A and B are shown apart, each in its own frame.
Chain A
Amino acid sequence: MISTTPNELTVSEFLKALNMNLRRYRVLVTGEITGRVNRRGAVTYFSLHDAEEEAVLQCMAFNSILDRLGIEIREGMAIKVGGYPEIWKRAGMFSFKVFEILLTGEGELKRQFEMLMKKLEAEGLFSPEHKVPIPNFAKHIGLITAADREAMNDFITHLAPHGLNIELYDVRVEGARAVEEIVEAISWFNENRPEIEVLVLTRGGGSLESLQAFNSELVARAIFASRIPIICGVGHERDVSIADFVADMRASTPTHAAKIISESWERGALELDQQAERLSGNIRERITQAQFTITTTLQQAHDSLQGRFAQLDRALTEHMKKLMLGNPELKLKQGYSIMRSHNAIIKSVAQLREHDIVEAQFHHGKAKLQFQKGV
């Protein structure tokens, strides 16, 4: 082991200490690609230079970062690289470790935008069947935007006051860290805030270049993977980003995003009145119905008893009539007589023998008669 004083270090100790300090230079560097772009193994090497001045920066990036760009970088192309500088210990070489490549120049950006759009569309990231509906009366809202900027204020001031809980996750919306922070914010809410019902990802308007984070593939995939539905409100009405297409709902501006959430509450207030009216209507109707049922039941009982009485009355009259007709008194009055012999009523001549005494009953009085055959 080599003994060292505070200012005396081994090469590797020195480089390590340097690298620790260099990591703090997390910056975006703009330049033009010069020379060949070398892909070796999992890594690609290229150099950036300034067109006006002699200055060159050696860059190193993992291939996956280049692949995410959607288009191939080549000599002469103007780009921005995000990352930090590092000295490669084994060769003592200074290079810039690239974590993000951003295209500059409207033409390239548009090309990249269109290529990524095509790719993600083909994968189904924009399909309506993947869209989660924004819930009605959302109370817990996760806001992902840069703190204290116009977009944040627009959003908050346009939310209807209905006891909503808004949690702000402060992110950079442009620059070297924007993509990383937005992706992190989305997954943070998904992992740590089960009560959040809707996420709002928003920022003010800007040039295609300043909206790059919202056109990044990583952000698009994070939105797509989110369990919580996302409203994306980027820029002014004319600005459209890939994030807008992947989001469950697109708001044209931060204010519009607030209005989408507030709308169900405003509607809820109206519908509440309707429901309240419906409720009193329902109970009134039910009571009237109950009263009607009672009245009808009573009437029916009354009617059916009346009917029964009338029926009984008719039956009794019939019986009376029959009884009257069968009354023997009536027959005697009409001139009929009843003949009896040996205490039995004679219904046939066969019951009698010659000279039998027959008792005859008339309407007035009785008489004994002698039977004589063959009259």
Chain B
Amino acid sequence: MAKQNFNFKKAFEELEKINEWFSGEDIDIDEALEKFKRGTELVKEAKKHLKEAENKFTRIRKELGEEE
């Protein structure tokens, strides 16, 4: 199951940032490997999320307010 609190939007933005980072100059190889690891994790999580997530539908009981 994909994590409930997984935020696709944030993950996607972080991934984009990582890829942007790579276009910089004088990149440290150790840091590059760290970023790559993180990026791979994000891709994995995001894909899992896209695959498994079902929509949740709730009705608001708007009468609640009126009854109070």
Residues from chain A with Cβ under 8 Å of B60 in the complex: 167-170, 188
Residues from chain A with Cβ under 8 Å of B32 in the complex: 282-283, 286
Chain B interface, >50% SS class: helix
Residues from chain A with Cβ under 8 Å of B15 in the complex: 272, 275, 279
A166-B56 in contact (CB<8A): yes
A156-B18 in contact (CB<8A): no
Residues from chain A with Cβ under 8 Å of B62 in the complex: 169-170, 184-185, 188
- Given A137-B9, A282-B36, decide whether A275 and B16 contact each other with a Cβ distance below 8 A: yes
- Given A286-B27, A290-B29, decide whether A279 and B57 contact each other with a Cβ distance below 8 A: no
B16 to chain A: closest CB distance in Å?
7
Count CB-based A-B contacts (< 8 Å): 101
Complex-state Cα separation, A332 to B50, whole angstroms: 99
In the complex, what residue of chain B is closest to A189 when comparing beta carbons? B60
Complex-state Cα separation, A283 to B18, whole angstroms: 11
Let me know if B67 is at the binding interface, CB within 8 A. Answer: no
Complex-state Cα separation, A164 to B7, whole angstroms: 11
B9-A136 in contact (CB<8A): yes
Residues from chain B with Cβ under 8 Å of A282 in the complex: 19, 22, 32, 36
Complex-state Cα separation, A135 to B27, whole angstroms: 33
Let me know if A268 is at the binding interface, CB within 8 A. Answer: yes
Let me know if A6 is at the binding interface, CB within 8 A. Answer: no
Chain A interface, >50% SS class: helix
In the complex, what residue of chain A is closest to B57 when comparing beta carbons? A166
A155 to chain B: closest CB distance in Å?
10
> Within residues 104 to 150 of chain A, which ones have a CB less than 8 A from any CB in chain B?
135-137, 139, 147
A151 to chain B: closest CB distance in Å?
15
A275-B19 in contact (CB<8A): yes
Residues from chain A with Cβ under 8 Å of B39 in the complex: 275-276, 279
Complex-state Cα separation, A361 to B51, whole angstroms: 106
Residues from chain B with Cβ under 8 Å of A166 in the complex: 55-58
In the complex, what residue of chain A is closest to B38 when comparing beta carbons? A279
* Interface flags, A152-174, vs B, CB<8A=1, else 0: 00001001011111111110000
A283-B12 in contact (CB<8A): no
8 Å CB contact of A272 from B36, B50, B55 = B50
Residues from chain A with Cβ under 8 Å of B43 in the complex: 272, 275-276, 279
Complex-state Cα separation, A164 to B50, whole angstroms: 11
The 3 A-B residue pairs whose C-beta atoms are closest, nearest first, are A163-B53, A282-B22, A137-B9
Residues of B within 8 A of A (CB): 2, 7-9, 12, 15-16, 18-19, 22, 27, 29, 32-33, 36, 39-40, 43, 46-47, 49-50, 53-60, 62, 65
Residues of A within 8 A of B (CB): 135-137, 139, 147, 156, 159, 161-170, 184-185, 188, 265, 268-269, 271-272, 275-276, 278-280, 282-283, 285-287, 290
